[in-house]
Amino acid sequence: MLAFLTGKRAILRLRRENLRLDGARTRKIVSLGLSGFFVNMTNSLVQVVCNATLQACGGDTYVGVMTIINSIREMFIMPVQGLTNGSQPVEGYNYGARRYSRVREAVRFTVGVTVAYSAAFWAIAMLFPGALIHIFKSGPDILEAGVPAMRVYFAMFLFMSLQIAAQGTFVGLGKAKQSVFFSLLRKAIVNAPLTVILPIWMGTDGVFAAEAVSQLVGGLACFTTMYFTVYRPLGRLRDGDPGL
């Protein structure tokens, strides 16, 4: 591939003199990418804390339950992440072109579809948790522990979908600081400490409740901030006006 892109047959060739990094542009690219990096990093951090706490409170069965729940979450959350990632270029392009009505339309569409999809998954998780667990394992001990745990864990899933949509808007409009902050807020600031604190009174249920609380707090905080600092101010601008 490199041989072709640097050879004579390529219409636009890679040239060494055009590959110099621009400091300001590189900082912007890195800052926008940090949001996704911190999401993955804090997910790993919380997973370590969850597994250690569950091992101490409930043993291998509950560690297995958490592994299954995380697998189900990743399986169902991928379309949400795909939608929000796909909306970022649309929002960013129209924001740069000062077509703010299109940006707001993209935000409404993304949030609406994300919430509708998440509501469908939430209903399935609440009504048929056993069927979802059966996809991965069907032992009676796993089912007995996993059904109530799943209902607690996904109780506030709708709010997490709001956070994913709002963070996607922040990234699409180049507002990296807000996106990074809310990435850290839900997992590192809310979830990880509660995962250690709540089991003192609630046992293993506290680990799963910590996730539900973090979804509620993080989702509401992120979406509300996006609504009042981005969506509503854009509504006061006419297409062609200077940006926020």
pLDDT greater than 80 at residue 35: no
Left (φ > 0), alpha (ψ -120 to 50) or beta: where does 197 sit?
Answer: alpha
Q: What is the mean pLDDT of residues 96-101?
A: 92
Mean per-residue pLDDT over the chain, rounded = 90
User: Which residue matches tokens 């169902």?
Assistant: 76
Length of the chain as a residue count: 244
pLDDT level of residue 138 (50, 70, 90 thresholds) = confident
**Distance from C-alpha of 182 to C-alpha of 189, rounded to nearest angstrom:** 10
Give pLDDT, residue 199. Answer: 92
Q: What percent of the chain has pLDDT over 70?
A: 100
Give pLDDT, residue 87. Answer: 92
CB 103 within 8 A of CB 91: yes
pLDDT greater than 90 at residue 222: yes
| Of residues 34 and 210, more confidently modeled | 210
Q: How many CA atoms lie within 13 A of 3 on its CB side?
A: 0
CB 91 within 8 A of CB 106: yes
pLDDT greater than 90 at residue 112: yes
pLDDT greater than 90 at residue 230: yes
Cβ contacts of residue 104 below 8 Å, gap of 6+?
Answer: 231, 234, 235
Judged by average pLDDT, the poorest of 117-126, 178-187, 214-223 is: 178-187
User: Which residue matches tokens 């959350």?
Assistant: 77
* pLDDT tens readout for residues 47-92: 899 999 999 888 889 999 999 999 999 888 889 889 998 999 999 9
Q: How far is CA 182 from CA 11, 32, 122, in A?
A: 43, 13, 22
pLDDT greater than 90 at residue 93: yes
* pLDDT tens readout for residues 9-26: 898 899 888 888 888 888
Q: H/E element holding 74?
A: helix 60-96
Judged by average pLDDT, the poorest of 65-69, 103-107, 181-185 is: 181-185
